[in-house]
Amino acid sequence: HDVNVSTKKATFSMGCFWAPDSLFGVQKGVIRTRVGYAGGVMENPTYRRISDHTESIDIDYDPNEITYNELLNLFWAYHDPTARTSKQYTSLIMYHDEEQKELAEKTLKEEEKKKSSYIVTKVIPAKEFYDAEDYHQKYRLQQHTSLLEAVGLNRGSKLKTSHLAARLNGYIVGFGGVAQFDSEINQIGIR
């Protein structure tokens, strides 16, 4: 279930991290995802003691298959960047290099124009990313115990590294669609 291609990272915060885990996990070129806490300074946050951190998603993607711009388009389309929320659920783009920073800032300005409203999203450098507890990883998929067992994903922290887990966690809530599922069923390790 692990895929070995060289990847880049993208890190976003856009509300409760369960939904973006499903959204991004099923995109073409996304190899694996994990959810966690980032954007703050307190060490070792947890769900109960999230402190100054924000629920975040960390994406490993193959830049030959999907661009950072495409990931940004999904980021903007699938949450409300004008919503003022608590720090736990705020909107963040955490960039990993200068190119990501520039693209993030450019799309933020475009979004501001489009919505003609204040965008709360902060573009900040990616720092420490603290993995969330195992029960938050691929949360939607984890609600399907027998499926997890059938594909051998029911134990340990495999849910953070498995490509198959990322795919199924998207398909299970309807992202990706049947045609894409059929087209990749032989590659993602179901049979």
Q: Which residues bind ligand MHO (CB under 6 A)?
A: 16-18, 55, 136
Minimum CB separation of residue 18 from ligand MHO in Å reads 5
Which alpha helices (DSSP H) does 44-172 contain, by range? 68-77, 98-115, 139-142, 145-150, 163-171
Minimum CB separation of residue 81 from ligand MHO in Å reads 18
- Name the DSSP class of 42: S
- Distances in Å between the Cα of 106 and the Cα atoms of 41, 81, 90, 99, 180 are 27, 15, 19, 11, 31
Residue nearest to ligand MHO (CB): 16
Residue 140 or 167 having the CB closest to ligand MHO: 140
Does 48 qualify as catalytic in the annotation? no
Minimum CB separation of residue 87 from ligand MHO in Å reads 12
Q: Which two tokens stand for residue 70?
A: 């495409």
Residue 47 or 118 having the CB closest to ligand MHO: 47
Residues near 18 by beta carbon (within 8 Å), at least 6 away in sequence: 35, 136, 139, 140
Of 3, 9, 16, 180, the active-site residue reads 16
Catalytic machinery residues: 16
